[in-house]
Structure 1
């Protein structure tokens, strides 16, 4: 069976190698599990499935994140593709793991590779590859430790590499950074896979209020892409159709600026811990983010924002 994403560069790159066979094997196993999981079926939860989220990330990796002119190895792209496939796998069964899913995802892969029983992961991946994937998954999102303190997992990956200086730990840092960036850039209306009127939020619950705000930010962004004239700049294209249909207000302008600031913060994290410290990165290194809009009210707001925007 073939899929639309098979035409994306990050998957086509694996053609004529054992890696495409191994990727297809793993995708055949985990695609269904992700699409039928709790994080996809829960009505007020942002999609963490395969057919929307992972597929979006493969497109983002292919068009924006990976610099294929640097000729990364097929193994590197394979490991990245599998890390994408498995980065949210633990939430397929339990949405309550959201705060720790990067760590839990790492342990999911490690437990599988070290199991005495043959399973879907250790039958396809060798231990070295699996450990790189596990570390990359750990680095893709910050977690809260046992006392509620946020841990920067990408910083933790770099500290490990700084100690070991092994090629595997270096690659884990780079794949973790690429995955983290691509995951963050899947913050557009394409992330929404059901009609808006099907989303129901309880305004009395903080978790629901945060979910509603995040959902609205996705609605307002049409696309995030590499500026064709500036290789180190990302552009956020606003969903101008939404403004034409529903009007514009300052709260919407604030939300767009929050999306921009969140991406800037991730770029600063990725660059400070990985891109500017480890040579030979196979992904593009971005330093700035600009908002692109053709809505006059939005442009006026961007030129003169009226509120102090939250810094993440």
Structure 2
């Protein structure tokens, strides 16, 4: 039998591990492919094609070579089948009745269930419901004026309500629908309109930008240097030849912004939740180009950012609220995949706990991360220590700050075969029998301090001062400060964080901000009124 092009894509070829799934998918394709391809020719002129031969095939390619390229192990054959059929039929109502664009995801869901009930589709009722749900979540419901009336991803069944598949595993329709939704957004490139000539359509002026966006983008790719980033590739030669770079750059950035907003939304609501996809790491989509086009894009991007800051608008790519005329200090996370994994551990194990307590003189916090429980898991401890070791400078001496910092520092010392010591923070010293034993250095040429959480930086600053005072060292001997978490205040506060320490700070996770309050203005702080502190800040003597 002649091999079809879709068999080149893993999401299709992997169905052959259970041949019936591949044959059933092929049956569905043969029934509807002509309807889908013919329907695209009668769609309203406002729409780019929603056919099978370009659009659906592109989505299979994107799923196989970008979205799931390194995540197929999280899905079984039945889930792939449900996803593949959903891809095939997700835009069926754009062919059958394009006037219903605003509700086409709901209409397609109902269509699948009707077709299965009438015995025209080769799968059972529960599979039809799952396929319908995956289709439903791929596009929000909107009015004719484009106003969103239903966020369909949020309307999908919750984890406890998933149908159990033939293998005994629940069918995760939230993940499958999110995969389809992201792939659909990423299919904005020249392959989408291959074989279609815009001049053959009566395209009105408001519709032309949609076609132009497809013309000026090539097929997306995974960033070769950061596997958590998806690259959008402009056709810079075409853009230069057509001579309208200013308008095209704005269109490029519109696409980048739209897909990033969608990715952030899906990460927050699906991929990085307790029903997310194992191994998922994508966190950003960015335009990748060269030459003067890259400079134009950077200038326009900065202009847009400045305009938003001036207007006080929140940038969806930043967790911070823009504050005009304020200098923002930023921690750069190198290993985003590990950051996402650590956040997942905190969420899965419910380690973010509530409480209103003093963290230092003048400052109260309203929650805390149970890092002791986190680091008691040997696998978590190993991965975090390994993440630090990748950045550990040669010839250093590792110093653990407090109990959790010491546990990490000792693990790092074992991995890298470097000397290790520990330091007890002031608030814990009364519980130590012999405080002088805390510091014992073999080599003081380079010190690396290790802790679990940094909020204001006060504890680290005091530790640096104490070490330098006792050993009569200049502060520049501290080569780096490693922290698992940097918890950035929701209300901006930078006082007390020494610049010379901040520049040496390396963190694995900054995705869990903290709410702080000033004690003088915190009138209802029960901890302040009673002089209490949480046990993690001042341990109870047992």
Fold similarity call, TM over 0.5: yes
The equivalent of 1:105 in structure 2 is 108
Aligned residues of 2:37 and 2:53 also touching (Cα < 8 A):
yes
1:7 aligns with 2:8: yes
Q: What is the rounded CA distance, in whole Å, between the counterparts of 1:101 and 1:243 in structure 2? A: 33
**Displacement of 1:235:** 0.6
**1:308 correspondence with 2:342:** no
Partner of 1:241: 237
Relative to total residues, which structure has the larger helix share, 1 or 2?
1
Q: How far off is 1:237 after superposition? A: 0.8
How far is the alpha carbon of 1:10 from its aligned partner? 1.1
**CA deviation string 1:105-133 (max 9, x = no partner):** 111112223x3x43x22xx1111111111
1:172 CA drift (Å) = 0.8
Q: CA 1:198/1:244 → structure 2, altered by over 3 Å: closer, same or farther?
A: same
- Indicate the structure (1 or 2) with the bigger Cα radius of gyration: 2
In structure 1, what is the Cα distance between the partners aligned to 2:155 and 2:143? 13
Alignment check: 8 A CA contact 1:34 1:89 kept: yes
- Mapping of 1:24-103 within 5 angstroms? 24-37=26-39, 39-42=40-43, 44=45, 45-66=47-68, 67-68=70-71, 70=73, 72-103=75-106
1:124-155 CA-partner distances (Å, limit 9, x unpaired): 11111111110000000111269954321111
Which of the numbers 278, 285, 289 marks the counterpart of 1:289?
Answer: 285
- The equivalent residue for 1:132 is 130
Q: Map 1:184-203 to 2 at 5 A.
A: 184-193=185-194, 194-203=196-205
CA contact (8 A) 2:44 2:98 kept: no
Check the 8 A contact 2:66/2:221 in 1, yes or no: yes
SS at match of 1:223: coil
Q: Residues 7 and 241 of structure 1: is their aligned pair in 2 closer, same or farther, counting only changes over 3 Å?
A: same
Distance in 1 (CA, whole Å) between partners of 2:160 and 2:21 is 30
Which residue, 158, 168, 172 being the options, matches 1:161?
158
Quote the Cα distance in structure 2 between the aligned partners of 1:6 and 1:86: 18
State which of 254, 265, 269 in structure 1 corresponds to 2:265: 269
Matched residue of 1:235: which SS? strand
- Post-superposition CA distance 1:156-175 (Å, at most 9, x none): 11xx3156365577611111
TM superposition shift of 1:100:
0.6
Question: Any idea what SS the aligned residue of 2:128 has?
Answer: helix
For structure 1, the residue ranges without an aligned partner over 5 or more in a row are 204-208
Please point out which of 135, 138, 141 is paired with 2:139.
141
Q: Could you say if the C-alpha distance between residues 135 and 200 of structure 1 is closer, same or farther in structure 2, counting changes exceeding 3 Å? A: same
SS at 1:290 equivalent: strand
Partner in structure 2 of residue 206 of structure 1: none
Preserved contact between residue 170 and residue 278 of structure 1 (Cα < 8 Å): no
Structure 2 contact 175–275 (Cα < 8 Å) conserved: no
Q: Higher mean Cα deviation, 163-172 or 96-105? A: 163-172
Task: Tell me how large the CA RMSD over aligned residues is.
Answer: 2.5
Which structure's residues are more often strand, by fraction? 2
Q: Give aligned pairs, total.
A: 297
2:172 alignment partner, SS class? helix
Cα distance in 2 for residues equivalent to 1:226 and 1:6: 21
Higher relative contact order (CA 8 A, sep 6+): 1
Task: Quickly say closer, same or farther: Cα 1:165–1:49, change in 2 above 3 A.
Answer: closer
Deviation at 1:262, TM superposition (A): 0.6
In structure 2, how many angstroms separate the alpha carbons of the residues matched to 1:294 and 1:73?
Answer: 40
TM-score, reference length from structure 1: 0.87
Contact 2:139–2:152 under 8 Å retained in 1? yes
What is the deviation of 1:2? 3.6
Instruction: Report Cα offsets for 1:257-288 as digits up to 9, x if no partner.
Output: 00000100110121111111134516844111
Structure 2 residues without counterparts, runs of 5 or longer: 309-314, 317-542
Measure how far apart 1:195 and its partner are: 2.5
Which TM-score applies when normalising by structure 2? 0.51
Task: Point out the more displaced range, 143-152 or 74-83.
Answer: 143-152
SS in 2 for 1:15: helix
What do residues 78-120 of structure 1 show as CA deviations (whole Å, max 9, x unaligned)?
A: 111000001011121111011110111111112223x3x43x2
When residues 180 and 50 of structure 1 are mapped into structure 2, their CA distance, relative to the original with a 3 A threshold, is same
Determine the C-alpha separation between the residues in 1 that align with 2:256 and 2:148: 25
Report the CA distance between 1:212 and its aligned residue. 1.2
Contact 1:43–1:198 under 8 Å retained in 2: no
